[in-house]
């Protein structure tokens, strides 16, 4: 691209330079003028500058519902990964997806898949299995199992007061007699039960 020194490039020269991948500063250096003069000439000649060209390419992709559907549903890319791929903001991707009624795939990996299966969980708890046994099978804690049951609207199982495993331990008067009057230790009381 041979230009005369200190001459502002024409719109055809600018378009050719920008098409070739030159930046505003590189065009200014080739033309022997300032970057400001190049930007002014581009505006005057209605030539998209490199940054605006890139934005137009990005929005051409985001305005394609088929491409966006493939990225979100088939490739399971998040809004963030698509934004990084295109070089735009996450909000731009979210806005385009919302326009087409698309949602991002779930980003959270399920640590205990069985806890998301309401029917399986209801069946296990309905079979009166011990929470510890179910938690061991799933590989989680009992509290995580209780939280999942609550999340799925499964009523928590509690033993009725009259069906407690060691009823005397819930009787304050009996415990008082054992500790204070009989002078027994916790170990001795546990051995008796």
Per-residue pLDDT tens over the stretch 107-119: 667 788 888 888 9
Same domain, 61 and 87: yes
* Host domain of residue 144: 113-158
User: Is 70 inside a domain boundary?
Assistant: yes
pLDDT of residue 7: 77
As a whole-number percent, the residues of the chain with pLDDT over 70 amount to: 89
Find the mean pLDDT for residues 123-134. Answer: 85
Mean pLDDT of the chain: 83
pTM over 0.75: no
Axis crossing angle, helix 24-31 with helix 35-44, rounded to the nearest 10:
100
Task: Read off the tokens for 102.
Answer: 């698309």
Domain count, the chain: 4
Question: What is the C-alpha to C-alpha distance for residues 189 and 193, in angstroms, rounded to an integer?
Answer: 7
User: Is 29 inside a domain boundary?
Assistant: yes
Asked if residues 97 and 67 have their Cβ atoms less than 8 Å apart, the reply is no
Same domain, 92 and 117: no
């Amino acid at each position: 691209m041979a230009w005369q020194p200190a001459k502002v490039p024409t719109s055809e020269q600018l378009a050719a330079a920008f098409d070739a991948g030159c930046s505003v500063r590189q065009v200014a250096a080739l033309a022997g003028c300032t970057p400001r003069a190049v930007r002014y000439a581009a505006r005057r000649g209605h030539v998209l500058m490199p940054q605006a060209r890139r934005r137009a390419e990005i929005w051409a992709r985001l305005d394609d519902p088929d491409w966006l559907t493939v990225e979100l549903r088939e490739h399971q890319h998040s809004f963030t990964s698509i934004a990084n791929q295109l070089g735009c903001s996450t909000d731009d991707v979210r806005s385009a997806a919302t326009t087409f009624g698309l949602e991002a795939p779930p980003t959270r990996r399920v640590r205990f898949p069985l806890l998301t299966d309401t029917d399986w969980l209801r069946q296990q708890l309905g079979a009166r299995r011990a929470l510890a046994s179910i938690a061991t099978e799933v590989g989680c804690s009992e509290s995580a199992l209780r939280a999942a049951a609550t999340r799925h609207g499964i009523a928590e199982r509690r033993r009725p007061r009259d069906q407690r495993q060691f009823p005397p331990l819930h009787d304050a008067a009996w415990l008082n007699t054992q500790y204070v009057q009989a002078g027994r230790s916790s170990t001795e009381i546990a051995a008796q039960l």
